[in-house]
Amino acid sequence: MTDLLITNAKPYGEEAVDLLVRDGVVAEIGTGLTAEGVGTLDAGGHVLLPGLVDLHVHLREPGGEESETIETGSHAAALGGFTAVFAMPNTDPVADTAVVVEHVRRRGEEVGLVDVHPVGAVTTGLRGEKLAELGTMVSSAAQVRMFSDDGRCVNDPLIMRRALEYASALDVVIAQHAEDHRLTGGAQAHEGAIASRLGLAGWPATAEETVIARDVALAREAGAALHVCHVSSLHSIAVLRAAKAQGVRVSAEVTPHHLLLTDGRLTGYDPVNKVNPPLRTGADTQAMREALAEGVIDVVATDHAPHASQYKDTEWAAAKPGMLGLQTALSVVIHTMVEPGLLDWHGVAQVMSERPAEIGNLPDQGRPIAVGEPATFALVDPDAQWTVRGAALASRAANTPYEGMRLPGAVVATVLRGRITARDGKVVA
Ligand code: DOR
Ligand code: ZN
């Protein structure tokens, strides 16, 4: 049923209104609205936002189902307030052909809780050697609009140049995991005082900054859209600011964990804190917050990276990098951005819904809350507090870095084109 009467909701935290939804579209906004024979959602005076859009998740299917599936990941997404996610191609097999991206898209539609948009690989097998068939994936039933080798960097400048030229011609975006592998050498701790003290090999911030600098030059030349994944270093901000000032088509994301967590957490060698790019310093997290508020960083994307316990409950060097993000993202953004006054609710809608939908080229997501627009929403209780428990999250894996933390803000309901997909912490199948 896609007819729905939502009562007592505060769009962007403003005046409370009722919204009448017909066929998945907002038909009327007013007060004291009534309707016969439609489903109802009492919004309890909570904040109504456009449904959240995540440009960067790992759903692990196909091939990594011990860590996550499209079904469990869709549950986590709906519970986190998301109505669209972009699934990264570092699966097994890699999503570098029409067959694989079509499978991911179809499976997402079968589960039906969130729009799952497959990201296609830039290079065959993510090996960085040969361009994948981007055009075939674009014109496939999966309608791929974003390509990335995420997990790895497209390190070869000639391959990156060609990818951007194709992206320009195909009107798609290349999302770069900016990490010069020659500089990081596989290290997974921020190069600095803490890594030295702990005897961990260092991942220098310059490995990110130099790739971004190179890529914005290539994107400018190609006239292509470049998206920089998970910016983590304050030095990268200056490069992005300069590129944007020159009119380069570049956008950037920051993860919730790079807004909140620092390398100070590494002292216990707990691999739950191992992530790529690594947690950096307090100066970096502060710079990320300011850049997001200023718009130099466009969006928050989770880099939701589930790993089954056998990949995480091991020593630091052997553990896989990555952390869960879908069900905690909004709370971390409220804590790091809304509470200190860096973003209001319009700002949250911008960085978690509107801009991601624009960058990912999704015409019916990230839309204003208005008559004639899709009824695709996240309803948020900003005053709620909750304690994170990995075991209670919907993901198949439990690798949350926020275990035991109390976080503000709870998603009360998620609505996708008039259909309630999550309510009071439970998925509505
Ligand atoms: O921490 C990370 N985990 N960073 C990546 O780039 C890839 C991701 C994964 O796939 O687990
Ligand atoms: Zn990445």
pLDDT in tens, 65-114: 999 999 999 999 999 999 999 999 999 999 999 999 999 999 999 999 99
Q: Is 58 in the pocket of ligand 1 (CB under 6 A)?
A: yes
The encoded tokens of residue 92 equal 């097994």
Q: Is 272 in the pocket of ligand 1 (CB under 6 A)?
A: no
CA distance 179 to 214: 11
Cα-to-chain-centroid distance, residue 41: 27
CA distance 167 to 362: 17
- State pLDDT tens for residues 123-179: 999 999 999 999 999 999 999 999 999 999 999 999 999 999 999 999 999 999 999
For residue 49, the SS3 value is strand
Tell me, yes or no, whether 418 lies in a domain. Answer: no
Predicted confidence at residue 396, as pLDDT, reads 98
Tell me, yes or no, whether 286 lies in a domain. Answer: yes
Predicted confidence at residue 186, as pLDDT, reads 87
The encoded tokens of residue 336 equal 């790091």
Handedness of CA 301, 307, 311, 316 (dihedral sign): positive
Tell me, yes or no, whether 10 lies in a domain. Answer: no
- State pLDDT tens for residues 381-423: 999 999 999 999 999 999 999 999 999 999 999 999 999 999 9
Domain range for residue 177? 51-359
Number of Cα atoms under 13 Å in the Cβ half of residue 40 = 10
For residues 342 and 285, the answer to whether their CB atoms sit within 8 Å is no
Res. 184: pLDDT tops 80 = yes
pLDDT above 70: percentage of residues in the chain: 100
Tell me, yes or no, whether 342 lies in a domain. Answer: yes
What residues does the ion ligand 2 have nearby, CB within 5 Å? 150, 177, 229
Predicted confidence at residue 429, as pLDDT, reads 85
Please identify, by atom number, the ligand 1 atom nearest to the C-alpha of residue 150.
6
Active site residues: 303
Mean pLDDT, the chain, whole residue set: 98
CA distance 377 to 228: 26
Tell me, yes or no, whether 308 lies in a domain. Answer: yes
Identify the residue whose tokens are 């919730």: 256
Res. 337: pLDDT tops 80 = yes
Tell me, yes or no, whether 273 lies in a domain. Answer: yes
Res. 1: pLDDT tops 80 = no
Taking residues 297-318, what's their average pLDDT?
A: 98
- Angle of the 98-111 helix axis to the 70-79 helix axis, nearest 10: 50
For residues 58 and 87, the answer to whether their CB atoms sit within 8 Å is yes
Say how many domains are in the chain: 1
CATH of the domain at 313: 3.20.20.140
pTM given for the model: 0.98
Tell me, yes or no, whether 85 lies in a domain. Answer: yes
Q: Binding site for substrate: which residues? A: 58-60, 90, 276, 307, 321-322
Q: Is 305 in the pocket of ligand 1 (CB under 6 A)?
A: yes
Phi-psi region for residue 325, left (φ > 0), alpha (ψ -120 to 50) or beta? alpha
- State pLDDT tens for residues 49-67: 999 999 999 999 999 999 9
Task: Return the ligand number nearest the Cα of 60.
Answer: 1
Q: Is 304 in the pocket of ligand 1 (CB under 6 A)?
A: no
Tell me, yes or no, whether 145 lies in a domain. Answer: yes
pLDDT above 90: percentage of residues in the chain: 99
